Amino acid sequence: MVNNFENLLLSNLKSLERFVYYKVSNKEDAQDIIQETCLTASLKFESLRDQSLFKAWLIRIANNKCNDYFRKKAKYETVSFDLLADFDLAENYTANNLQLAVKETFEQLEETDRQILCLFYLKNLSQKEISQILKIPVGTVKSRLYYAKEKFKAMYPYQPKTKGDEVMKKLPEFLPDYKIEQSDKAPFSVKCEELPGWTIVPKLNEEVAVGLYYMPSRKLNGYFDAKVIGEAEIYGIRGVEILAVEHEMENYYRTDRVKENQRNFIAQLTDTHSRFLAETHFDNGIRKVHTFIDDDEFTENWGYGEDNCGNEIQIEHKNLITRNGNVIKGNVKPEVVDIVGRYNVTINNKTYDTVCVMDLNCFNDPVVSEQYIDKNGRTVLWRRFNRNDWAFEHYGKTWTEMLPENQQLNVNGETYVHWYDCISTYIL
């Protein structure tokens, strides 16, 4: 029986760790919960009648341990500055104004209102989980949440946008001319809540279209639409579902857009990270699902950050990469990301104050990217560079041979060539 338990635990330990790390952001606390879960499982193993259900049983124990953890912390939790997704920052207010307004509004609420809002919005717990933690019926949780949110709305000084304020705009057939000028001002830190590689924020009512423009033709080569279509939950972790559809260019100007390549994601935005929870797509008519807990294929393609925790949304200048014009120096193994300077990017006669975030060894390939992010935490322009020998076995030529007129970067003494740019409807 002991050997049976040990074998089952070892084969499911990775899934257990992934689950707890996704539920609890503090790594030390997460490790304590994992140990407690293993101990409880060993003591109660004899009560498990069907060992084929071990994984689900183990995750259920872990979920209960996480609930106990949140129950102890509920009274002391502080408010997230992004507590309510319904409210947007007006153009004439700064991020600091917004943070202060949320904090001050939150502090005006009664303790019971603060507690339930924290559990639901900050800790991303379901109503059922909150019910168990607070030992109140689910119906009471629903009513408390509703009235707490209404009280917050009544006190909050900024008005939310109404439906119809934002209209999806069409990407141009050719990439508009743009100018990138380095600023003499110090780089600013920025809160970027976009999902890695998809420039969409996993919040309700969010949508974006992203176009890919090959250089030097600057012609739109491909694009995808992405929108948040509703709330979702997987393995007890709440997030949102995103529909992303990649289109062929021949269908771009059709009014009846054809769904060529459709993916569905479940993603989550926490107070520290933006991350994927699951990805689904169709392969030969079969719907395939990959989650953060199920297999290594998800980890390889969608699992960003240590322990699949996602990308940190607060980006700081860390001096990991230095840039002097087109000369870049920094460690490329493993992948390294850093702010390399402040730049004014002008597109469509509008100038954006941005920081340039460089990603060396992006996609775990000899690829470098430039991502220009404005003070709203949104991507204005994304540019890709390939190392000169990237995919040589496929193309049979170096990139300086194929694209001799394109911009080149010198990264740690090696040549990288500009391949394509991406813009989104955010800047339109």
pLDDT of residue 82: 45
pLDDT number for residue 2: 54
Q: CB neighbours of 54 closer than 8 A, spacing ≥ 6?
A: 8, 12, 48
Domain segments of the chain as ranges: 2-75, 77-155, 169-192+313-428, 198-305
What is the mean pLDDT of each successive set of 10 residues along the chain, which is 428 residues long?
Answer: 79 88 81 92 88 90 86 57 41 47 74 84 80 88 86 68 50 92 95 91 92 93 91 88 81 48 89 89 82 77 76 90 94 83 93 95 85 95 96 95 96 96 93
Give the CA angle between residues 289, 264, 197 to the nearest 5°.
105
pLDDT of residue 71: 75
Give CA separation, 126 vs 38, 148, 177, 425, in Å: 24, 16, 47, 33
CATH value of 2-75 in 3.20.19.10, 1.20.1250.20, 2.60.40.2470, 1.10.1740.10: 1.10.1740.10
* Peptide bond before residue 160 is cis, with ω within 30 degrees of 0: no
pLDDT attached to residue 148: 86
* pLDDT value of residue 256: 47
pLDDT attached to residue 163: 43
Evaluate whether 210 touches 204 at the Cβ level (below 8 Å).
no
Structure tokens at 52: 């084929």
Q: Is the peptide bond before 216 cis (omega within 30 degrees of 0)?
A: yes
Which fold would CATH assign to domain 77-155?
Answer: Arc Repressor Mutant, subunit A (1.10.10)
Alpha carbon distance 9, 11 (integer Å): 6
Return the pLDDT at 246.
Answer: 86
Report the sign of the C-alpha dihedral through residues 8, 13, 14, 17, in that order: positive
Q: And the tokens for 415?
A: 């040549």
Torsion of CA 108, 109, 115, 121, to 10 degrees: -90
Q: What are the beta bridge partners of residue 352?
A: 345
174: β partners: 219
Cβ proximity of 62 and 90 under 8 Å: no
pTM (whole model) above 0.75 = no
pLDDT tens digits for range 151-210:
887 776 655 544 444 444 688 989 999 999 999 999 999 999 999 889 999 998 899 999
Q: Is the dihedral of CA 351, 404, 214, 356 positive or negative?
A: negative
What is the bridge-based pairing of β-strands 261-269 and 220-234?
A: unpaired
Q: Is 263 helix (H, G, I), strand (E, B) or coil?
A: strand
Residue 386: CA count within 13 A, CB half-sphere? 20
What's the pLDDT score for residue 79?
45
Task: Tell me which DSSP letter residue 272 carries.
Answer: S
Reported as a single tens digit per residue, the pLDDT across 76-126 is 544 444 444 444 333 334 444 555 666 777 777 888 888 888 888 777 788
SS3 assignment, position 186: coil
